[in-house]
């Protein structure tokens, strides 16, 4: 099973930049998109619903903020599609969509952005708190979970260039790193990319083209999995050959065959 996860920062712009041309050539079983910035009614064009996939969208796009919405594409029809997480920020902004298959659930997740000196950081912290409770409840279910998305946190020093300069910056604040520690510690989730590549300097987001050229970026995009998937991770990579948005797609291969 191959999964692509990508924050497109607007599905229309990413498509114009060639994302679907590239993605459809990767033979992925599931494609998870974040921050699609479009309502479902705007995505009727076949370019956004390729014949090879069952296509699902959860809109929450706010034109004023120019953020929001997630999508999930699957070659295999899921048993069920679940939109939202059951708490206000996630559901009003379209931050999560989940596909349930036999013995595994796959989600596309968009954590809200924050600013260390802004009310948006409090919104982010509240989301993080609520989502931690949500993940704790999920542990009671006898199935595997894969959560693919933009987590808006560089977990370790190795996940952000010049980390000393950003210790007071949203995305690398101590409480945010502690949140990721909780997810990968007591909750037992696995950062699947780090199962195959433990080198520093592997980033998925760059603030602008100049910093991208210098490879001064952050790793914000993860495919997190329940512990039972740890030994099923085969290969992983971050695609930087083309620029579709300020984020780069994350591709992970798993020893798993999707079924319904």
Q: At 184, give phi and psi (nearest 5°).
A: -90, -5
pLDDT at position 117, please? 78
Q: How confident is the model at residue 61 (pLDDT cuts 50, 70, 90)?
A: low
* Residue 119, token pair as written in the block: 């009310």
Nearest-angstrom CA–CA distance, 204 and 202: 7
| Res 63 pLDDT > 80 | no
Question: Taking Cα atoms as reference points, which of 56, 42, 47, 59 lies closest to residue 23?
Answer: 47
Beta strands in the chain (DSSP E): 2-7, 30-34, 54-58, 70-74, 80-83, 96-101, 104-110, 144-150, 190-191, 221-225, 233-238, 250-254
> What domains are there in the chain, each with its CATH number?
2-254 (3.60.10.10)
Q: What is the mean pLDDT of residues 144-160?
A: 97
* Residue 68, token pair as written in the block: 């929001």
Residue keyed to tokens 């090879």: 52
Q: With contact defined as beta carbons under 8 Å apart, do 85 and 95 qualify?
A: yes
Give the strand pairing for 144-150 and 104-110. parallel
- What burial class does residue 17 get, using C-beta atoms within 10 Å of its C-beta: 0-12 exposed, 13-18 middle, 19+ buried? middle
Nearest-angstrom CA–CA distance, 69 and 62: 9
Segment 12-30, tens digit of pLDDT? 999 999 999 999 999 999 9
Work out the percent of the chain whose per-residue pLDDT is above 70.
98
Question: Taking Cα atoms as reference points, which of 127, 236, 126 lies closest to residue 190?
Answer: 236
Question: Taking Cα atoms as reference points, which of 202, 121, 201, 216 lies closest to residue 166?
Answer: 216
Question: Taking Cα atoms as reference points, which of 1, 168, 7 lies closest to residue 75?
Answer: 1
The per-residue pLDDT of the chain, averaged, comes to: 94
Segment 98-146, tens digit of pLDDT? 999 999 999 999 999 998 778 899 999 999 999 999 999 998 888 999 9
Angular region, 159: left φ>0, alpha ψ -120 to 50, beta rest: alpha
> How large is the angle between the packed helices 119-138 and 174-184, nearest 10 degrees?
10
């Amino acid at each position: 099973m191959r999964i692509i996860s990508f924050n497109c920062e607007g599905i229309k712009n990413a498509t114009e930049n060639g994302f679907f041309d590239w993605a459809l050539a990767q033979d992925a079983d599931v494609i998870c998109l974040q921050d699609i910035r479009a309502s479902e009614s705007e995505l009727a064009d076949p370019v956004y619903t390729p014949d090879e996939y069952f296509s699902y969208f959860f809109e929450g796009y706010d034109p004023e903020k120019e953020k929001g919405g997630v999508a999930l594409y699957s070659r295999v029809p899921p048993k069920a599609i679940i939109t939202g997480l059951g708490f206000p920020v996630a559901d009003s902004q379209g931050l999560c969509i989940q596909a349930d298959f036999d013995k595994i659930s796959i989600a596309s997740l968009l954590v809200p952005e924050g600013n260390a000196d802004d009310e948006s950081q409090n919104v982010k912290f509240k989301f993080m708190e609520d989502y931690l409770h949500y993940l704790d409840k999920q542990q009671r279910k006898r199935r595997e979970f894969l959560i693919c998305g933009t987590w808006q946190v560089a977990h370790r020093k190795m996940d952000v260039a010049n980390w000393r300069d950003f210790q007071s910056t949203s995305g690398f604040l101590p409480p945010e790193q502690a949140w990721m520690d909780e997810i990968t510690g007591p909750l037992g989730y696995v950062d699947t990319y780090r199962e195959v590549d433990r080198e520093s300097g592997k980033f998925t987001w760059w603030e602008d083209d100049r910093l991208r050229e210098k490879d001064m970026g952050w790793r914000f995009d993860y495919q997190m999995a329940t512990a039972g998937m740890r030994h099923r991770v085969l290969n992983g990579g971050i695609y930087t050959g083309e620029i579709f948005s300020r984020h780069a797609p994350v591709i992970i291969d798993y020893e798993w065959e999707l079924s319904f």
